[in-house]
Amino acid sequence: MNEEKLRILKLLEQKKISSAEAMDLLEALGRGSRAAGEDRGRVLRIRVYEEGGEEPKVNIHIPLSWAKFMAPFIEGKIKAKLADKGCVVDMGKIQEAIEAHEPMRIVDVRDGGDRVEIYIE
């Protein structure tokens, strides 16, 4: 991040940006690092339990920062697996929850003895 701050200050020194623009860029840089820090330790958890099973058959723990990146790639697979179980999930809701950075239960579906849980903690 220091490298980015130096780049902004050099642009200011070279009069390529105004002091107000430099301040806006530095503040945005600070907000970005705080948001990244909020994600530290947060995890997207996906658990699938089959009827009669105590332990999840699927137990995925994805760091939230990676979940944002991976969501488009895994969306189809998760949606297809849930559809096989008769569960229709709004993947947009999951994406919104990931973007919100807040711990929350996103999906908790029970069908007989089968259960699917998707949440952020």
Digit-by-digit pLDDT tens for the chain (121 residues) are 577 888 888 888 899 888 888 887 887 776 655 455 554 578 888 898 988 888 998 888 888 777 776 666 666 666 777 677 677 767 777 777 777 777 888 878 888 888 888 888 8
Question: What residues contact residue 44 under an 8 Å CB cut-off, 6+ apart?
Answer: 60, 61, 62, 63, 64, 67, 98, 118, 119, 120
Domain ranges of the chain: 2-39, 43-120
Q: Give the dihedral sign, CA 88/62/58/56.
A: negative
